[in-house]
Amino acid sequence: MKSVIYILLSCLLLNISLLADDAKKFGKEITLKEKTSISKILANPKNFVGKKVLVEGTIVDVCSKRGCWMEIASDKEFQKIKIKVKDGEIVFPMESKGKSALVEGEVYEIKLTKEEAIEFGKHEAEEKGTKFDPGTIKGPVTLYQIKGFGALIK
Amino acid sequence: MSVVRKWLRVLHRDIGYVATGLTVIYAISGVAVNHVDEWNPNYIIEKTQTPIIPLDDSIFIAEKTADYVISQVGEKGKVKSYFRPDPETFQIFLEGNTISVDLKEWVVSQEKVKSRSLIRETNFLHLNAPKKIWTYIADIFAAALAFLAISGLFMIKGKNGIKGRGAWLTIAGFIIPVIFLILYYY
């Protein structure tokens, strides 16, 4: 009986240590050495679609319900890029906001019709608890995001 | 009592004891994440808005503006970083608090985040955030639950057993998900 209790306690301690670690490392190992500035990606996003990149920046927003995305600030003012991960595969904690992230992932594009863009905007505003004016969408929209594979949050 | 039934009882009892903790964890988290559209299962988020006296300064300096805003709203936390999503908004990140300043109207929005103790930990395990060895523990637990369910069917003999009342209740347990699949899936 003592050994059973010992195994159970070991499992508990293991989990506590995993929690305490608060996973500075998320997902897969980072393999790229050279960083690409977010401003460079956003200046010419089409050139980066399908390419693996390593980006760095301050985390300015995190999905509050599932931790399935985060936004990181660009090196240029008023710019940011969304890092999207598969639901449940990586969970970014909300405490990460304001911290610095190094992220490896693949740039991809989302093409939306005007109607889809309005729906997308509404959904995003609802998720963030912000206001959205459908009038700001004048036509089809193309979004560029990074599919995150691995991240290091400091 | 047959030897098979005797062993089923022993295994059902002991595996049941071991599974108790995990079953409770998965049950709590199950309810928590089942209602993810209605509430946040991991965090308590408190949002407030406060108008402040505009900073009389024509040149924007992040550090100076942050110090001024923080003093105006009475916050004391250490500043982690800043961000300007657009020319009219300035965000200041403190530990557990995101301060967003409307630089046109001088309205400060705060989003204070607190972890939901216990429930967040159960979600962490239930949704397999740790991955690694936990994945296999969860697999073993799933197999144990299946064993508990099946062994439970054969533990009692007689009219309340699987040949009597137990059969009808077991069939009912299968019919419930089938009804909802017909209603919502097909």
| pLDDT 10s digits, A55-92 | 999 999 999 988 999 999 999 999 999 999 998 889 99
Is A78's CB within 8 Å of B85's CB?
A: yes
Q: Do B109 and B48 share a structural domain?
A: yes
Domain count, chain B: 2
Q: What is the CATH number of the domain that holds A98?
A: 2.40.50.140
Q: Do B53 and B111 share a structural domain?
A: yes
- Cα separation, A19 vs A8, whole angstroms: 17
Structure-token pair, residue B162: 């699987």
Report ipTM for this prediction.
0.81
Asked if the model's pLDDT at residue A23 lies above 80, the reply is no
How close, in Å, is residue A92 to chain B by CA atoms?
Answer: 10
Q: Do B131 and B92 share a structural domain?
A: no
Structural domain range at position B108: 43-115
Q: Do B47 and B32 share a structural domain?
A: no
Please report where in the chains the tokens 């980066």 appear, as a residue.
Answer: A48
**Interface residue B41 vs chain A (CB under 8 A):** yes
For chain B, where are the alpha helices, taking DSSP H only? 3-34, 62-73, 119-126, 132-153, 165-184
Query: Residue B174: inside a domain, yes or no?
Result: no
Whether residue A59 contacts residue A153, with contact meaning beta carbons closer than 8 Å, is answered with: yes
Task: Identify the pLDDT of residue A87.
Answer: 85
Q: Do B133 and B81 share a structural domain?
A: no
Q: Quick check: helix, strand or coil at residue B87? A: coil
Structural domain range at position A117: 24-153
Task: Identify the pLDDT of residue A17.
Answer: 46
Interface probe for A, chosen from B81, B107, B125 (most Cβ of A below 10 Å), is B81
Task: Identify the pLDDT of residue A4.
Answer: 56
Asked if the model's pLDDT at residue A35 lies above 90, the reply is yes
| Cα A142 to chain centroid, rounded | 18
Query: Residue B85: inside a domain, yes or no?
Result: yes
Query: Residue A10: inside a domain, yes or no?
Result: no
- Cα separation, A97 vs A65, whole angstroms: 14
- Cα separation, A60 vs B60, whole angstroms: 20
**Interface residue A88 vs chain B (CB under 8 A):** yes
Domain count, chain A: 1
Residues B29-83 pLDDT 10s:
999 999 988 899 999 999 999 999 998 877 889 999 999 999 999 998 899 999 9
